[in-house]
Chain A
Amino acid sequence: MGKLILAILIGVVGAGLVHIAVIFTMPDVARRNAWSRLAEIGTLNQLVRVEALDADPNPALATTDAPIGDFAFVDPAFLTAGCRFSLANGPVRIVASQRDPAFWSASIYNRQGDNLYSINDRSAVDNAFDLMVGTRDQLVDKSAIEDAPETQIPVEVEMSSGYMTIRMLVDEESKRPSIDAFISSIKCQPAPLDDALSTDAIHKSGTAAGRASPATSSPQPTTTGRTAQ
């Protein structure tokens, strides 16, 4: 009898350990976290749209549309997009080639969903969305190789892979096309340190975007014909 009670006591203590272990490993092993849900609708470095789930989905429409992701409580007043990226082969540049005066807000998360960095249109330089995401060493190496555009913001994070989300306010329906174009112009592109050809290409296009006049009232500053001097 004493042995049985001892076994039960050991079991209860073990249950405590199992409980703690499960709670702490859950963010790493959960199959339905935000990273996995983004993976369902797009590949690495691909920009995907996230739309609000419909309470009364129309089955006739649901099959024809592009996948919208399985996220709850998505704000319908915003256009939301995201991309997953990996820092294994160097930093990643997340850049929108257009500008738009509408309110936007972006965040960077690691794979477990910890929010590591946030930026919005007011804290950005000249309202440009241009982030160079990498570890400390990667960013130091990157800045040694080439001059970043003035509007580019280096984002130092300690992680191997993560995801970015950007939300952009559509307060008037007439603004939706230009905001849609802004979202579509966002690219999450790896900026490897050793690949001279691609860094050069990124550098040129980046310089062009950086030189677009901030005073222009056009939401879509032209980037063609403005190459590095």
Chain B
Amino acid sequence: MQFTLLVMIAVGIALYLGGWSAKWAVKESSEIATVEVGQWKATPFAGAPDADPYSKARLAMIGNLNLGIGEGIQFRGSADDSGQPLRRECSYSIEGTTPPARIFTLAAYMPEGQLITPAAGRPGWLTSNNLMRNDDNSFAIAVGPTARAGNWLATSGTGQMILVLALYDTPASAESGASSLTLPTIHREECRRG
């Protein structure tokens, strides 16, 4: 009787603790193999055959159609240059340059990955082909709910958001390139009250 009880305790601890720790690790392992450039984060090796097992498990859980390593790299920005989370009701200026890429796109998403679609006629995403640039090839993009001249990415609603800067067909997604990149900065300008 006592032996059965001890076995049950051992098995119970093994299953419960093992399952819980695996779930926790997958949830928290988003930092593993993450490349951080300024306010932008990317996981360039997600989906690679030689990725670490935690990244693979995580990818299976979230089920994204991630970009292949040869296709490009997706940088996600969730905070501005003062460390504050990005908000849909605030306006931001994104300035700087990107690494060489054939195409890059910028769009705003909910933290869970749904696209933030502004009202009809407003630009919900930007592509590098249609961007206005300065003489030195840098650019400035205004992000926010109120219309702006120049490059403007419209947002709507309230709450947190994530900006995704996706570079396509770029050497930056190669293994050595990602950490030494320069990406544009995200600076908060003002927030709409109410």
Assess the A77–B127 pair: CB atoms within 8 A. yes
Which of B61, B102, B110 sits near A103, CB closer than 8 Å?
Answer: B102
Question: Closest CB of chain B to A39's CB: distance in Å?
Answer: 11
Q: Select the residue from B61, B112, B114 with max chain A CB neighbours within 10 A.
A: B114
Question: Closest CB of chain A to B139's CB: distance in Å?
Answer: 15
* Distance in angstroms between the alpha carbons of A201 and B24 in the assembled complex: 53
Given contacts A22-B22, A114-B49, contact A17 B114 (CB under 8 A): no
Q: Select the residue from A73, A103, A113, A119 with max chain B CB neighbours within 10 A.
A: A73
Find the B residue at minimum CB distance from A28: B60
Assess the A171–B166 pair: CB atoms within 8 A. no
Q: Which chain B residues border A120 with CB–CB below 8 Å?
A: 70-71, 168-169
A101 within 8 A of B: no
Q: Which chain B residues border A52 with CB–CB below 8 Å?
A: 114-115
Assess the B9–A114 pair: CB atoms within 8 A. no
Q: Which chain B residues border A21 with CB–CB below 8 Å?
A: 18
Of the 9-residue stretches A3-11, A83-91, A130-138, A211-219, which lies at the interface with chain B? A3-11
A226 within 8 A of B: no
Which of A7, A23, A27, A76 sits near B25, CB closer than 8 Å?
Answer: A23
Q: Select the residue from A6, A12, A23 with max chain B CB neighbours within 10 A.
A: A23
Of the 9-residue stretches B33-41, B50-58, B185-193, which lies at the interface with chain A? B50-58
Find the B residue at minimum CB distance from A36: B63
Assess the A73–B59 pair: CB atoms within 8 A. no
Of the 9-residue stretches A104-112, A148-156, A182-190, which lies at the interface with chain B? A104-112
Question: Closest CB of chain B to A182's CB: distance in Å?
Answer: 17
* Distance in angstroms between the alpha carbons of A167 and B110 in the assembled complex: 22
B62 within 8 A of A: yes
Question: Closest CB of chain A to B70's CB: distance in Å?
Answer: 3
A-B contact pairs, 20 of them (CB 8 A): A7-B10, A8-B9, A14-B10, A14-B13, A14-B14, A15-B16, A18-B19, A19-B18, A22-B57, A23-B22, A23-B53, A26-B26, A27-B56, A30-B60, A52-B114, A53-B114, A54-B114, A55-B157, A72-B112, A73-B109
Additional pairs, 6, CB under 8 Å, beyond known A73-B76, A112-B60:
A10-B10, A27-B60, A71-B63, A103-B169, A109-B68, A172-B130
